[in-house]
């Protein structure tokens, strides 16, 4: 199976057929060409997205020609709804949806990476068919030993779970991890109280690698920012040499960012991302948003 996945490198479009995004230039200070951000809890927090973050993203995208990727567990409908509501002055160049499918954004519409997405879908269909006994065991547990809400036969996963609390989510997570190891290639994807399941090869990190191949960038020139369990796969040097997280990130994310000498912000969500971007890209003009940050914190 993995040989089929890696064969995508051979079927990717040639540079001449790619969008003008290949014409980006390397940032002069850190060599970063690609910025990959999670959405919920990272860009979008309880207070929305701070306007100063949009101003920095405009500068990076339009003046520095940084490629921006939103890497999320949302569907396109869910992500687009929030983007239209927030009305950002710039949209991402690429998005990863469901933590695994890759789309290029053109005129604010998603254009699928067909070879990657089709391979991803086939691998998941085969895996989910093969693991039917696990789904029966999981549903029995959810019915009898939890108060969690769950749905079956969803777009991304045979079972999707919403726990009633973080404590219950931890119990469900332990149950799943104890049993899922019996099923080769099956993994659990958690974001706070929500769970879905996926093929262990297809995750935010490998989807990011697919975009890097399409845009002729590399992990050595990539900054990745996330906050929760489902971001852990992309927060690896094999996918991004520069790692960061906001202050509201869970401890396992902070531990990984700390281990690889990344940036742990003091601000939460969009303020934390703003802090990271200023430090990495705009250190010569740190006063760019200091006043607006102070207003929000007050």
DSSP string for residues in 148-172: -EEEES-SS-SEEEE-SSHHHHHHH
Q: How sure is the predictor about 189, in pLDDT bands with cuts at 50, 70 and 90?
A: very high
> 6 and 92: one domain?
yes
> 98 and 237: one domain?
yes
Answer whether 71's CB lies under 8 Å from 36's CB.
Answer: yes
Backbone angles phi, psi at 229, to 5 degrees: -55, -40
The reported pLDDT for the residue numbered 184 is: 87
Q: Is residue 125 part of a domain?
A: no
Q: Which of 199, 232, 248 is the last residue of a domain?
A: 199
Residue 200 pLDDT more than 70?
yes
Q: What is the mean pLDDT of residues 88-100?
A: 97
Handedness of CA 264, 58, 27, 99 (dihedral sign): positive
Q: Which CATH number do you get for residue 89?
A: 3.40.50.1000
> 109 and 207: one domain?
yes
More confident residue, 13 or 53: 53
Q: Which of 169, 199, 229 is the last residue of a domain?
A: 199
Give me the numbers of helices (H) and strands (E) for the chain, helices first please. Answer: 11, 12
Q: How sure is the predictor about 17, in pLDDT bands with cuts at 50, 70 and 90?
A: very low
pLDDT in tens, 268-295: 999 999 999 999 986 634 433 444 444 4
Question: pTM value?
Answer: 0.84
Domain of residue 150: give its range: 130-199
Paired tokens of 124 = 């998941």
Q: What is the mean pLDDT of residues 1-26?
A: 37
> 251 and 171: one domain?
no
> 141 and 185: one domain?
yes
The reported pLDDT for the residue numbered 290 is: 43
Paired tokens of 263 = 């940036």
> 269 and 290: one domain?
yes
The reported pLDDT for the residue numbered 65 is: 94
The reported pLDDT for the residue numbered 283 is: 60
Q: Is residue 79 part of a domain?
A: yes
> 71 and 105: one domain?
yes
Q: What is the mean pLDDT of residues 96-100?
A: 97
Residue 47 pLDDT more than 50?
yes
- How many domains does the chain fold into? 2
């Amino acid at each position: 199976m993995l040989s089929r996945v890696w064969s995508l490198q051979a079927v990717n479009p040639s540079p001449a057929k790619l969008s003008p995004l290949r014409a980006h230039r390397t940032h002069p200070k850190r060599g970063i060409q690609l910025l990959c951000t999670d959405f919920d809890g990272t860009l979008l927090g309880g207070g929305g997205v701070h306007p100063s973050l949009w101003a920095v993203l405009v500068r990076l995208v339009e003046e520095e020609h940084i490629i921006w990727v939103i890497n999320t567990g949302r569907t396109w409908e869910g992500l687009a709804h929030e983007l239209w509501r927030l009305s950002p002055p710039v949209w991402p160049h690429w998005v990863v949806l469901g933590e695994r499918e890759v789309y290029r954004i053109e005129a604010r519409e998603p254009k699928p990476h067909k070879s990657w997405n089709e391979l991803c879908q086939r691998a998941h269909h085969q895996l989910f068919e093969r693991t039917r006994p696990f789904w029966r065991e999981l549903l029995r547990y959810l019915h009898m030993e939890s108060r969690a809400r769950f749905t079956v036969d969803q777009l991304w996963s045979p079972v999707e779970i919403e726990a009633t609390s973080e404590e219950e989510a931890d119990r469900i997570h332990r149950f799943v991890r104890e049993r899922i190891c019996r099923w080769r290639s099956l993994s659990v994807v958690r974001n706070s109280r929500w769970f879905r399941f996926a093929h262990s090869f297809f995750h935010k990190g490998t989807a990011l690698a697919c975009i890097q191949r399409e845009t002729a960038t590399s992990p050595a020139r990539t900054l990745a920012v996330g906050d929760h369990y489902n971001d852990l796969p992309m927060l690896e040097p094999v996918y991004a040499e520069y790692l960061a997280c906001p202050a509201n990130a869970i401890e396992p994310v902070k531990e990984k960012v700390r281990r690889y000498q990344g940036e742990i912000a003091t601000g939460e969500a969009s303020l934390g991302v703003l802090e990271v971007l200023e430090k990495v890209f705009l250190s010569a003009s740190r006063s760019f948003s200091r006043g607006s940050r102070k207003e929000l914190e007050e």
